Amino acid sequence: MKKISLAGCIIAIVFLAGCKKQLTSQSIGLLTQDQVNATPTINTVETSVKSSYKLLSNTLNILGEWDWGGGLVFQNDVVVSDVESDDMEKKWIADGDQPWMDDINNFTFTSSNGGPNGLWKYDYEGIKRLNIAIGFLTNPNLESITGISAARKNQLLGEAYYLRSYYYFSLVTNFGDVPLITSSVETYQEAFKVAVRVSKDTVWSKIKTDLATAKTLLPDTKFSSATEPWRVSKGAVIALQAKAALYTQQWNDVITLVSALEATGFYNLNANYFSSFNTKFTDNEVIFAYDHESLQTPQNGNGYCAPLGWGFFAPSTDFMNSFEPNDPRKLFTVDVANQNVNKILGTLDGTNKGNDDAANNKILIRYADALLWKAEAYLETGDNANAILYINKIRARARTTPTATGGTVPGGSLPDRPASTDKPTIKGWLISERRAELGFENQRMPDLKRWGIAKAVMTALGKNFQDKHYLYPIPQSEIDASAGTLTQNPGY
């Protein structure tokens, strides 16, 4: 039997039905089955890693051809993190288009919904490609076989461990216990064995172990490659370590890791809030982003701009009303008058709207986000003064940024938060600051869930949020394909 990488097997998480299909399929990620089995070359090694980034992108139809119902037209993080939240509505004008998104917004979704289905498949396809790459890169004879340098091998391996951790971060935060697949498989029997869900604690442990390894492999520079600044860097690793510590409530680790990020000197808050969204790797704030490019074959543009031209993704009234007076981040995020979601478009004049091949980057981790993690960790460890200090760093940049119309923020707007020893008050300030600073960046619903307040917030808005909704259901198609080896989350 040819070696199966869980390949098509994981594209569905698969198992029987998927494995049968894989036996006659030639494509594994962007490699062919013959390339996987053959003696590796530098090209196959490089391609195995580079293709693994693709599942982070907003490019359209990576895993399907206009499979809306299956949630495969684009990466679903905007739906499962923003449309589900109190920040975003599916469209500017309510209609019957793509009802599966309405079901997520209304908490009437089932285990057959395209949102969690697409998220699962994107993440596991990324992991499948990375397991191929890691298999190549951990071959002790790789340097002599391919001629690759030790430095390049280490860099690529560091990137691969990071990216696999990133995909598992998405899975564990959205689904809880999930199958932990860290190598390719060769038989049906192996495929069924890895279909078993492991505890979320085990997944978090693997994420943290792989990130620690990645940090030792990447160079001590802002960019791992001066000519390819989009690649995973050591700063990106430290940031994801800090975020993993945040989600597992390891508060002292959050403080230590964000301090290490600050100490690199690689990052600071941009003077202009919007610089992260309309520039490409020349700003000071972006830690990790997907590098969309126009006019590539295969296409690599920011496909999210296309559905914006079809009326998708609009702010909720509650989101718009949540901003303080004169907060410039409101218009930088969304221009209601012209129905432009500026953050996603990467423009302030509607350019890119309807363009399925736009070149603006997809921002995945920003320095401002990391500083607010540190504020939260300080608050949880009783250091109220430093918590407020870091919240005020974000507010200071907001009130001093040039506005979207080229003016200045009126004096007295967004004043510093005063000294306080009341934890609930400071927590409220933190929650408000994260919402204003990170709106439409796929952070709102994950924040509400990890804080344990999603039910209260959504219920107050008349939404039918139930306890089961703190996790998404395991896609029913995956449970069926595994002959029941995969189990469902409670309530679905």
Q: Where are the domains of the chain?
A: 1-208
Instruction: Give the predicted TM-score (pTM) of the model.
Output: 0.94
- Cβ contacts of residue 478 below 8 Å, gap of 6+? 12, 13, 14, 120, 486
Q: What is the mean pLDDT of the chain?
A: 93
Q: How far apart are CA 209 and CA 216, in angstroms?
A: 11
Kindly indicate the confidence band of residue 194, based on its pLDDT and cuts at 50, 70 and 90.
Answer: confident
- pLDDT tens across 295-318, in order? 999 999 999 999 999 999 999 999
- 88 three-state secondary structure: strand
- Integer CA distances (angstroms), 90 to 83, 86, 307, 337, 407, in order: 6, 11, 10, 17, 31
Backbone angles phi, psi at 25, to 5 degrees: -100, 140
Q: How far apart are CA 247 and CA 241, in angstroms?
A: 10
Omega cis (within 30) before 40:
no
Q: What is the pLDDT of residue 2?
A: 35
Q: What is the pLDDT of residue 23?
A: 30
pLDDT tops 60 at residue 138? yes
Q: What is the pLDDT of residue 220?
A: 97
pLDDT tops 60 at residue 30? no
CATH node for 1-208: 1.25.40
Q: What is the pLDDT of residue 32?
A: 61
